[in-house]
Amino acid sequence: MKREGRGGVARRKMAARIVLCIIIALTLTAGRVLQWVMSQVSLDLDEIIFTLSHPVEGTDPGFYLSVIKYSLIPAAAVLVVVITVQHVLDKLQERGPAAEDGRAWSGKAGTWFLPVCAIICSVFCAVSFVQIWTRLDVSGYLKNSGQKSTWIEDNYVDPSKVDITFPEKKRNLIYLYLESMEVAYSDTSSGGIFDVNYIPNLTELSSDIQDFSGPDASRLNGASSWKYTTWTMGGMFAATSGLPLKIPIESEGVDTNYMSTQDAFFPNITTLGDILKGQGYENDLLIGSDATFGGRRLYFSTHGDYEFYDYNHYSEDGELPNGYKVFWGYEDEKLFDFAKQRLEELSSEDGPFNLTMLTVDTHYPDGYKCRLCEDTYDSQYANSIACSDAQVSAFLEWCKDQDWYDDTAIIVSGDHPTMATFCDQADENYVRKVYTAYLNPAKEPERDEWREYSTVDNFPTTLSAMGAVIPGGRLGLGTDLFSGEDTLTETFGRDEIDRELSKGSAWMDSQSRIEPLTADITYDPYDEANHRLSFTIRNVSSDKVDGFRCCMKMYGYKNASGSDYIEWISAVEIEKGVWRAEWSVPVDKAYTGIVKLQPTCMVDGARSNVLDLHYYHLKYGRGGVNCEWYECDTNGRPLED
């Protein structure tokens, strides 16, 4: 038998070390990403899936920087340390054993150091995966998603079939959504979880407003958030429609969250905006970010024909300096200034108005530190909360001094509980609720007692606060808290409601009226001579699609950083309505593996849903010679003709 030379042994040793370093880097990065999710977010699997399947346009870049700082940078630092230690051990080994000076162990340590590190990192990744699987209750999610429930339609009261009557003199509405604002931010004596009260102004305000806490005004009450209402669009949808935002978002492994290509958002339901528009109200939405993000523009334009005063509006009309952008767009200090300007305009016009606002400075993970923020607390998030508390209070005091205040109902409500870890110290039995306050309502509640309610109840309660009469006291899944009717939370309890919402709902699927985005895609044979992969897209079903970003990923073909080769390109419109994408496959080294092609729609300049996934199996030598290929499924099995 021919004995392997020193060069062959060295090459195998180097190859093994490279593989071990890749394993260390990948498992450590993956584990840190999973730990980041657990450390930064109050987890809800539906919320995560919904958010990840939406366009990224309008998001705060700090979100992505946070992931990079938490996962990639520490993983890279550890890898550098590991490689450095391995190098030191190799040098010690080269010097030879010397038991008398304590270096006899170095040879064995140098051999096993990298494998042990790889095992430790792999165990870390596996433990992180198990933790997040358990915390997200993925098993329960998969189990419930396969079951069907009629609970929503069984309890839904169609607002279009309720004879809602308004007073002859209609009251204006200001609906102020406070990003991630919770009752928990107050001190324990006020119903919160902290020794210090981070929202003293809003707490003091509660003695002059209605939060349905009954005769004990010393403790804040608020609305709980059901499943599918725990992110901004979900919370706003619940408060204006009385429904959770439960929509189909995936089918057969391909994204089907087609909200960005729809002409309407739940077109057959009747919402707060629809009702107010029908009563002659001017509906405005004022927010410090891009209204497109999360489907807000589509929803509020579909229901109530809102005018949008968002980051784009003020950037285009010159109110913001050229190129100005902080956090998600512009900060709350500017939001309240713009609100005052808009309210002066609205109050000078004939007819009632509805100004809906959304703050942003208290968005997770750390909030935004504006020039008004003080460094009172060690936590930036706590300082952002306290600053928001002061700004909101000042704005409400300004409203009270205006001539139109007596004819205006003001609702102040958190959009959802915070996704940051700020409230993780809460006892497991503590019910986290969003801050809720009804200022200047047109009536007093029939039941002067502590009420258990959720954000869906804000829908009919808002109309009631404006003086509207709602026969039966129910709209959507919500209950008018000024009436004597029980809420569904009081009837069923939060746990049972969340269990039912976790199950599939054919009624909600039908109400969403989501039209699938379709297209004819022709995938070409692999061009062996020119080493090319390509496809052509025709007959796109939505005119909202303005292009395609397309991805080619070669599994196992490693780039310089050790990651799988990925190349994104923009498809070229070769004729009206016909798009073509074409890649040159790298052949600088031999390859055997699966290649994925992924056409992704562009809507308003942002990546939207994935249209399709297609796979090839490729095998070739260096330079692309001796090529073998076939189209296959995700597991590499040839597709049937």
Q: Provide the mean pLDDT of the chain.
A: 87
Residue 52 to residues 30, 229, 528, Cα–Cα distance (Å)? 17, 16, 36
> In angstroms, rounded to a whole number, what is the distance separating the alpha carbons of residues 605 and 548?
10
Q: Which amino acid is at 112?
A: W
CATH number of domain containing 592: 2.60.40.10
3-state SS class at 542 = coil
Q: Residue 99 has what pLDDT?
A: 45
Claim to verify: residue 207 and residue 82 sit in the same structural domain: no
464: exposed, middle or buried (C-beta count within 10 Å: 0-12, 13-18, 19+)?
buried
**Any idea what DSSP says for residue 467?**
T
The answer to whether 564 and 557 are in contact (CB under 8 A) is: yes
- DSSP per position, 384-415: HHHHHHHHHHHHHHHHHTSTTGGGEEEEEEES
Claim to verify: residue 424 and residue 334 sit in the same structural domain: yes
Chain centre distance of CA 288: 17
- DSSP per position, 10-24: HHHHHHHHHHHHHHH
Residue 364 forms part of a structural domain: yes
Residue 449's domain spans which residues? 171-250+257-488
Claim to verify: residue 45 and residue 92 sit in the same structural domain: yes
3-state SS class at 324 = coil
Q: What is the pLDDT of residues 415-460, one digit of tens each?
A: 999 987 888 888 888 999 999 999 999 999 999 999 999 999 999 9
Q: Can you give the pTM of this predicted structure?
A: 0.69
Q: Parallel, antiparallel, or unpaired for β 172-178 and 408-414?
A: parallel
Q: Which of 443, 470, 488 is the last residue of a domain?
A: 488
CATH number of domain containing 270: 3.40.720.10
Claim to verify: residue 88 and residue 206 sit in the same structural domain: no
- DSSP per position, 230-269: SSHHHHHHHHHHSS------EETTEE--GGGG-S-SSTTS
Claim to verify: residue 362 and residue 402 sit in the same structural domain: yes
- DSSP per position, 163-219: --B--SSPPEEEEEEETT-BGGGSBGGGTSSBSS-S-HHHHHHGGGSB-SBTT-TTS
Q: What is the pLDDT of residues 172-229, one digit of tens each?
A: 999 999 999 999 999 999 999 999 999 999 999 877 789 999 988 789 999 999 998 9
Claim to verify: residue 471 and residue 537 sit in the same structural domain: no
Q: What is the pLDDT of residues 164-181, one digit of tens each?
A: 999 999 999 999 999 999
What are the backbone angles phi and psi of residue 107, rounded to the nearest 5°?
A: -65, -50
Cβ count within 10 A of residue 83: 15
Label residue 253 by pLDDT band (50, 70, 90). Answer: very low
Tell me the range of 100-114, 382-396, 553-567 where mean pLDDT is highest.
Answer: 382-396
Claim to verify: residue 202 and residue 350 sit in the same structural domain: yes
Residue 451 forms part of a structural domain: yes
Residue 152 forms part of a structural domain: no
> In angstroms, rounded to a whole number, what is the distance separating the alpha carbons of residues 417 and 497?
18
Residue 243 forms part of a structural domain: yes
